[in-house]
């Protein structure tokens, strides 16, 4: 009887430990990780650890889920790239994040600065990307859900509408669908439209 009690206690403990480990492994949706990385960029600029051009010339984020071997290992890596320079290379920053999405370290990658990156008249490029991520995380649009959960990359483009208005278009890819998602924003950061596209 005593042995049975011990066995039950042991099973409960093991189950709790597994649950804790799993929770620590994947507690944040990838769309949220991307959104947090935009805040991280702001923070690193404020702390003068990276250049302000990561906010004004940001073109893409790549979100990678890691498999931590130890609890202290990072759970996510986000690569933020500036517009490519004349030789096609980009200045990048790799941001490592823990299981909650908190930044743990960052590494700058050299590249060539773009001289002809799009200029935004109101919100900067990082804010436009961040607002598009707020949309997929907070709107009730069911088409946006696979991009909140399985986001792998976002790319910002500057386009002109038929009416001649300059808008930002954020293209998103996800592991949870083969479709693409496009969020179009005005230069003040308000979302104008959002829709999926079959590639």
Partner 1 sequence: MKLEINKLSVLILISLLISSCSNKTQLKFEEYNNHAYNQAMLEKVSYQLINQRVFIPKCISCHGVSGNVNLETYASVYGFIDKIKDVTILSHEMPKSPYSSLNKEELELLATWIQAGAPEKALGGVDIPPPVVEPLEAKFLSIQKNIFQNKCLVCHSPGKEAERVSLNTPQEMIDSPLEIVIPGNPDDSDLIFVISPTARKIMPPKKSGITSLKPEEIEILKQWIANGATD
Encoded one letter per residue, x for contact with partner 1 by CB under 8 A and - for no contact, window 89-128 reads: --------x--xxxx-----------------------x-
Residue 49 in contact with partner 1, rule: CB under 8 A? no
Q: How many residues bind partner 1 (CB under 8 A)?
A: 18
Among 25, 42, 51, 187, the residue binding partner 1 under the rule CB under 8 A is 42
Residue 72 in contact with partner 1, rule: CB under 8 A? no
Residue 54 CB neighbour total at 10 angstroms: 24
CB contact at 8 A, 146 and 116:
no
Q: CB-wise, 101 or 150, nearer to partner 1? A: 101
Please give the full DSSP string across 42-81, using - where no structure is assigned.
HHHHHTTSS-THHHHSEEEEEEEE---SSTTS-SEEEEEE
Residue 147 CB neighbour total at 10 angstroms: 32
Q: Which positions touch partner 1 (CB under 8 A)?
A: 28, 36, 39, 42-43, 45-47, 55, 97, 100-103, 127, 134, 137-138
């Amino acid at each position: 009887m005593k042995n049975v009690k011990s066995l039950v206690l042991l099973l409960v403990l093991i189950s709790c430990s597994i649950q804790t480990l799993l929770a620590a492994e994947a507690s944040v949706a990838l769309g949220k990780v991307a959104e947090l990385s935009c805040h991280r960029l702001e923070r690193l600029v404020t702390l003068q650890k990276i250049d302000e051009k990561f906010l004004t010339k940001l073109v893409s984020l790549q979100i990678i889920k890691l498999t931590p071997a130890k609890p202290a290992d990072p759970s996510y890596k986000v690569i933020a790239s500036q517009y490519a320079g004349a030789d096609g290379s980009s200045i990048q920053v790799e941001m490592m994040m823990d299981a909650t999405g908190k930044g743990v370290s960052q590494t700058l990658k050299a590249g060539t600065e773009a001289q002809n990156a799009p200029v935004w008249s109101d919100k900067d490029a990082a804010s436009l990307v961040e607002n598009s991520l707020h949309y997929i995380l907070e709107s009730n649009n069911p088409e946006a859900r696979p991009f909140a959960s399985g986001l792998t990359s976002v790319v910002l483009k500057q386009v002109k509408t038929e009416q001649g208005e300059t808008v930002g278009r954020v293209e998103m890819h996800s592991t949870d669908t083969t479709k693409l998602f496009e969020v179009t924003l005005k230069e003040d950061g308000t979302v104008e439209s959002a829709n999926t596209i079959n590639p």
